[in-house]
Amino acid sequence: MENEETKEENSPKKPKGLALGVVFGIVFGIILGPILFSDDGTSVGIGLGIALGILFGAAYDYRNKK
């Protein structure tokens, strides 16, 4: 039993923040892109959403790293 517990403690955590950031960036980019940017808004919104999602996802993963 103790061996299994130490394996779980020593195993690296999977970065969930980056994946969630990209998904939310795509979703919000599709929704808010045409509203915020009039010309070719969807592609600009998706690009901006992914960039911000990666940024905030990396910050979230870094904060929860310990």
Is the residue at 26 inside a domain?
yes
Question: What's the number of domains the chain is made of?
Answer: 1
Is the residue at 18 inside a domain?
yes
Its domain, for residue 37, covers: 13-63
Distance in angstroms between the alpha carbons of the first and the last residue of the chain: 24
Chain segment 26-66, per-residue pLDDT in tens: 888 888 888 877 776 777 888 888 888 888 888 888 888 76
Is the residue at 8 inside a domain?
no
Q: Is the pTM of this model over 0.85?
A: no
Is the residue at 4 inside a domain?
no
Cα three-residue angle 19-38-46, rounded to 5 degrees? 10
3-state secondary structure 6-54: HHHHHCCCCCHHHHHHHHHHHHHHHHHHHHHCCCCHHHHHHHHHHHHHH
CA–CA distance, 43 with 64 (Å, rounded to integer): 31
